[in-house]
Structure 1
Amino acid sequence: MVQNEEVCVVMVPFIAQGHLNQLLHLSRLISAYNIPVHFVCATSHARQAKVRVHGWDPLAVANIHFHDFLIPSFPNPPPNPKATIRFPNHLMPSFKAVMHLREPFQKLLTELSKTMKRVVIVHDYLMSSVVQDFDSVPNSEVYMFQGCSAFTAFWYHWEEKQALKLDEETESLWKNVPSLEDCFSDEFVEILDSEDSSFKKISSGTLYDTSRVFEEKYLELLKNEEVGSGTTKNWAIGPFNPVVIKCNKKDSSTTTEYMKLFNWLDKQEPNSVIYVSFGTTVSLSDEEAKAFAIGLEESGHKFIWVVREADKADIFDGSENRKVELPEGYEERVERKGVGMVVRGWAPQLEILGHLSTGGFMSHCGWNSCTEGISMGVPIATWPMHSDQPRNSMLITDVLGTGIHAREWRRRHEMVTASLVAEAVRRLMASQEGHQVRKTAAELGVAVRLSVEEGGVMRKELDAFVAEITK
């Protein structure tokens, strides 16, 4: 097909890993319509996005163009694994520095507008202030991307206004929605407030990395809330991540660690392994890590556990990261006994979740991890840490029925114990409750995977959005 020469899309992601990942995956989806996509990012974070993306090679897609801009230098402190609030406040200097993309973004927009009939901006909600000058370019329009679930987004908005009358079922649910206490630092709330005021002035519609297969109700409620500048347009075009993925053991670039991990997984029984990962922004203290180590071993179930320090703002700065301490000889012992594998680096999460041997996922409930678990049909033991995670956890457990609470948000300040970890694993992997959520998760996974095929609900939503921006 000939590349669309009238319309281009400019992606403006926020620089936290989960946000980078979402808009890079969305770039793939939109570029498949032969629309050129321009990905605007700070230099090191663009590199981070490309290195870590799973399931496809962004450098092999000819019509995705990366625009890497330098931002002012910023402090790059390590995360604090003993912080009372788990929000990654050590990233705040970089969050502030990235706001300096406003000027280079505007220059790029002006240049693109000279050769394109229409320039469509898709920006992360947290980058609203960066794109706010778009109206100086008459042939541009802007759409806001919301990086959390529709369920979580709705409750944020409704909690602020409480203008919409809830039906009996939803009002009953509200009584148990986790509080926002300890979800964010005060510094980050200031950024949220600032970006909120920016996007309300500019958004022509909202994109969500979710599916009407399981969030139809909350997408409709968001329309009624009239989020943004009174627009009722929203599109659920998720999951953004590939929903069918195979391990690449035959690839010449595959690492020894990758081969070892998947050779081990290949030997396990179907649905027998629990995958444990808490994402890129959570650091376990050594005491917590040791409790997890003992609990996983004592659970009696096989596991893959990602043990890594949370990301620093610049993951390429060359400094050595803290190595999380586990009980002496633990990694060698569990591997020798064939009961588990400890991954110290970056894990191929999509491939692990898509493997037949993986029967459960213990997760912090970042939205990327939730959508990956949902699309692969894997039940989740939820252990939220900060941000939108407590409310995502409620969506998974109480609304969708595809997971169990490993640790509820109200228990967040309690000490992590090996018995708590072991009990959560057993409940998910071997109880009647776990059997039911696995069945529900598998059924939902099938429905979501069907939705991305020709004629499916997600494909129709994506077609509708592309029709909107190319009309």
Structure 2
Amino acid sequence: MEEGRREQVLLFPFLAEGHINPFLALADVIARRHPNLTVNVVSTDFNIRKITSSFPPPSIRFRSLPFSPAAHGLPPDAQHYSSLLKQHILQFLFACDSLQPAFEQLIVDITEEDGRPPLCIIADFFFPWTVSVAHRLGVFHSIYLTGGAYGMAVYYSMWAHLPHRKTANDEIPLPDFPDVIIHRSQISAYQLDADESQPAPIYYKDILSRWSDTDAMLVNTVEEMETTGLRMLRKVFPIPIWPIGPLLNSSPSAAIVSGDGISRWLDAKPPASVLYIAFGSQNNITAAQMMELAMGLEASGARFVWVIRPPVGFDVKDEFKAEWLPEKFEERMREQGTGLMVHGWAPQLEILSHASTGAFLSHCGWNSALESLSRGVPIIAWPLSGDQPFNAKVMEEEIGVCLEVARGNTESSKVDRAVVERVVREVVCGGERGKEIRRRVKEVGELMKAAWREGVGSSARGLDEFFRAVASVEQEAHCHKHLVDVA
């Protein structure tokens, strides 16, 4: 890239916290490693206000696109995936396609202002229509997979082929990866019921089919940790694929500073003795499952911090009811000093970074998995939807950093207090399997640190190689234009 030129890079995440956060982390890394670039994050007015109110990075520019949920038959507050009711999810996904004209106009405006198009567009995998916009306007395009390589490869294959619809067997080999066997209980309820003629499968097949049209793919993972998953992605997508993880974004928070209640509670516990429990910003378990989890926790005797919200089927903004837990459970745990219930939200990365945290009972969303593994914290897996069961599968069977305790809200789902007690004791209290998981998770944590070591780290090299590829394409285009002008 020419000296003194500040070219524009555009990052366009899907309108969900689990997608926006890794995009912000990527934006921050690009801004620090390539100060000659102007890094832009594109989103809607509502989401930009939300981001900048808690995470105002001075090195990143935000570009706003208009979005009116009501124009698509959605409630006016349906501005963000986490605010949606289940019946509105597909409608919201279709509504997001309406951002295309404004996004295309933004590229045109930048091109007119700068006298040249942006250097590249890095877009969410839910926005593959940005590929056609980029290529029409002569811009290098990359999809950014915010999920893990294995989880996204399986997720792609499941939606592309719906193999579970073609067999009555519980064990289902994937057409793209015959050696990968998915159990029916690892498939989310909405996908189990999917038929090729329904809107959801049609939508997913359409967006997945367009991933191959991009110029490159970035993945929020580590080469040395996910060799199998990256090999699977490279088998089905004939494009350069660069792992650039772990990219984690934790907005500054005053919730766990010295003297804070959570911090004080953790400070008083022995090292690696506390189980942290959270199911992410967009997932939760049922009331019956919540009851079984609480009873299993109490029987295990393990110390825990539980981020708790109303169960599935209730508004997350409603007041939490004591009847969803065993009688006087919260009071009993508080008096014994065994458990701390955090209602609503907690500073997850800070808790996982605390010396007293010894394991994480997680839904296995990829951001949560990376946060846990990067801090050397073993995972107890309770996947709920999407790619989460596949993340749990690869982390338990191949990476060796977790133990599954239950599977989410599909019809075949079961959770048992005795299993909860046994698994929690194994991982938190130091069973033989738990010791091996702890040993392995420390190794993985070191792999993650090494991935960003300057000059030798695989993720540092991956991002540098990506921008070299972008610059090479731009140089070719510049030379071609010059030859045309001369002719």
Q: Tell me which interval the TM-score lies in, with the shorter structure as reference length.
A: 0.7 to 0.9
Residue in structure 1 matched with residue 106 of structure 2 by the alignment: 108
1:60 to 50, 57, 60: 57
Residue 203 of structure 2 corresponds to residue 191 of structure 1: yes
Unaligned runs of 5+ in 1: 52-56, 80-86
- Seen in structure 2, the aligned counterparts of structure 1 residues 237 and 3 have a Cα distance that, compared at 3 Å, is farther
Q: Is the 8 A contact 1:102 1:131 kept in 2?
A: no
Q: Is the 8 A contact 1:183 1:388 kept in 2?
A: no
Equivalent pairs counted in the alignment come to 435
Residue 180 of structure 2 corresponds to residue 182 of structure 1: no
Distance in 2 separating the partners of 1:117 and 1:134: 10
Distance in 2 separating the partners of 1:311 and 1:181: 15
Larger CA deviation: 431-440 vs 12-21: 12-21
Describe the SS at the equivalent of 1:341: strand
Q: Which amino acid aligns with 1:417?
A: D
Distance in 1 separating the partners of 2:269 and 2:311: 29
Root-mean-square deviation (CA), in Å? 3.4
- Seen in structure 2, the aligned counterparts of structure 1 residues 310 and 199 have a Cα distance that, compared at 3 Å, is farther
Distance in 1 separating the partners of 2:27 and 2:67: 21
Q: Which amino acid aligns with 1:333?
A: R
Deviation (angstroms), 1:377: 1.3
Q: Which amino acid aligns with 1:386?
A: S
Q: Which amino acid aligns with 1:392?
A: N
Q: Is the 8 A contact 2:188 2:385 kept in 1?
A: no
Distance in 2 separating the partners of 1:289 and 1:332: 16
Describe the SS at the equivalent of 1:106: helix
Distance in 1 separating the partners of 2:411 and 2:361: 16
Residue 259 of structure 2 corresponds to residue 266 of structure 1: no
TM-score (normalised: structure 1): 0.82
Matches within 5 A, 1:38-77: 38-50=40-52, 58-73=55-70, 74-76=73-75
Taking every aligned residue pair, what percent have the same amino acid on both sides?
26
Residue in structure 1 matched with residue 350 of structure 2 by the alignment: 351
Q: Is the 8 A contact 1:31 1:64 kept in 2?
A: no
Residue in structure 2 matched with residue 204 of structure 1 by the alignment: 215
Residue in structure 2 matched with residue 82 of structure 1 by the alignment: none
Describe the SS at the equivalent of 1:296: helix
Distance in 2 separating the partners of 1:424 and 1:466: 44
Residue in structure 2 matched with residue 282 of structure 1 by the alignment: 283
- Seen in structure 2, the aligned counterparts of structure 1 residues 45 and 311 have a Cα distance that, compared at 3 Å, is farther
Residue in structure 2 matched with residue 30 of structure 1 by the alignment: 30
Residue in structure 2 matched with residue 384 of structure 1 by the alignment: 383
Distance in 1 separating the partners of 2:409 and 2:327: 32
Distance in 2 separating the partners of 1:100 and 1:258: 47
Larger CA deviation: 420-429 vs 339-348: 420-429
Residue in structure 2 matched with residue 239 of structure 1 by the alignment: 246
Unaligned runs of 5+ in 2: 79-84, 163-172, 473-487
Distance in 2 separating the partners of 1:345 and 1:26: 27
Larger RCO of the pair (alpha carbons < 8 Å, separation 6+):
1
Describe the SS at the equivalent of 1:214: coil
Q: Which amino acid aligns with 2:281?
A: T
Q: Is the 8 A contact 1:122 1:144 kept in 2?
A: yes
Distance in 1 separating the partners of 2:311 and 2:11: 26
Larger CA deviation: 283-292 vs 14-23: 283-292
TM-score (normalised: structure 2): 0.80
1:222-279 CA-partner distances (Å, limit 9, x unpaired):
2233x1xx32x0110011116xx8x98xx8x557999100111111111100111111
Distance in 1 separating the partners of 2:390 and 2:59: 38
1:369-405 CA-partner distances (Å, limit 9, x unpaired):
1111121111111111111011111111001000111
Q: Is the 8 A contact 2:143 2:216 kept in 1?
A: yes
Larger-Rg structure:
2
